[in-house]
Amino acid sequence: MSDYPRFDFDSVDVVTSDTHFGHARISELAGRPFSSVEEMDAALLQRWNDTVAPGDVVLHLGDLALGPIQQSLAFTAQLHGRRYLVPGNHDRVSPATQSQRAIEQFTPLYEQAGWTILPEIVQGTRRGRRLLASHYPYFGDTQGAERHASHRPPDHGLPLIHGHTHAHDHGAHGHQFHVGVDAFDGTPIRFELIDEWLDGR
C-alpha cells in the first residue's frame, strides 16, 4: 500500500462530502433544489442529524463550508457525531489551495467547531480490506479538466472513497466510490454501503 497516513476505518459509522455549508451558489452549480443558502443549510443540518447519532464517528471527505467562513464553520458545530475532515479544495485547511500560513490560521476555527483535520489522503483497512479516502477521485471532476492532479491518489487498483465531483449518480465507478451529498439527496451515508461495495469486489 502507498505510504499515506493511517486511519482507522473500522471506527467510522458515517461518511459524506461536499456539503458546502454557507455557499450561496452551490445550489445553482450542483443542481440542488433550494431557493436560498439558508434553506439549504437548514435542510442539510436536518438530514445530517436525522442520520447521524451524537456518538457516531463521521468521516467528511472535504468541501465542508464556504461563504463567510467563521459563520459557516460555527454553523457546523450543530452537526451530530465525532467528526473528521479530509480537506477538499474549497476548505481553508487544504494543502491544494491554501498556504501553510492560512492553514495554521484557520485550523483553530475548524477545531472550535468540533472537527479533527486529517491529511488529504488517508489509508487503512475496513474489516480487513484495504481502503483509501480522499476528497479527490482517481478520475473525474465537475469541470472538463481534472483539477489538482498532484493532490489526487494514483490509481493502483485499491478501493477509494471520494467526493469532489458533485455527480448525482452515486456508488462505484471502477475502483472508486462517490459519497458526496449530491448523490444521496443531501444526506450522509452509513458506512455499511461501503462495506457492501467492498464485499462485492
Cα separation of 158 and 174, whole Å?
A: 10
Is 168 exposed, middle or buried, given 0-12, 13-18 or 19+ CB atoms closer than 10 A? middle
Q: pLDDT tens, 74-110?
A: 999 999 999 999 999 899 999 989 999 999 999 999 9
Least confident of 57-66, 141-150, 158-167, 174-183: 141-150
Q: What is the mean pLDDT of residues 111-136?
A: 96
- Encode 122-161: b = buried (16+ Cβ within 10 Å), e = exposed: bbbebeeeebbbbbbbbebbeeeeeebeebbbeeeebbbb
187 closest CA partner among 51, 29, 40, 3: 51
Provide mean pLDDT across the span 14-32: 85
Mean pLDDT of 123-140: 91
pTM reported for the whole predicted model: 0.92
Tell me how far the alpha carbon of residue 119 is from its chain's centroid. 12
Q: Which domains does the chain have, with CATH numbers?
A: 9-200 (3.60.21.10)
Q: Which three cell numbers stand for residue 35?
A: 431557493
1 pLDDT tier (thresholds 50, 70, 90): very low
